[in-house]
Structure 1
Amino acid sequence: MDFKASLKQAWISMFDDKELRYIKIYLIEKYERDLALLAKLDEDSDDYIELANDLMLLECLIFKFTKI
């Protein structure tokens, strides 16, 4: 079993389909809220950079949950 398959199996064994769906929905909602907040921040501020980094991580997590 390759790494991706074993990772998928680990997620499936930890959460049922409904739980995975709720996690994905929450992550998407958080991403949308933070994206709206990012638009209001000064691009040169530390808060902007930190939030932009968090959004990149959220994008990766959402993508991973979409593939499961």
Structure 2
Amino acid sequence: MEFIFLAAGLIMGLGAIGAAIGVGLLGSKLLESTARQPELGPMLQTKFFIVAGLIDAIPIIGVGIAMYLIFVVAA
């Protein structure tokens, strides 16, 4: 039973770390692309926010699965 809590913590922690790395890389590429071609900045920024929202959905799903493990499986 203790391993369920460990698994839930790992799911949430690794999901958050992965999303942070993904958004960081995405932001650095946005700045790099905008510096190379400033006229494409607004289009790239729009695509950045769409993809950043999709990346942020992954840890939210992980939190949902972790809460399921904690409150349903461990109960």
Q: TM-score, normalised by structure 2?
A: 0.46
TM-score (norm 1): 0.50
Structure number having the greater helix percentage? 2
Larger Rg: 2
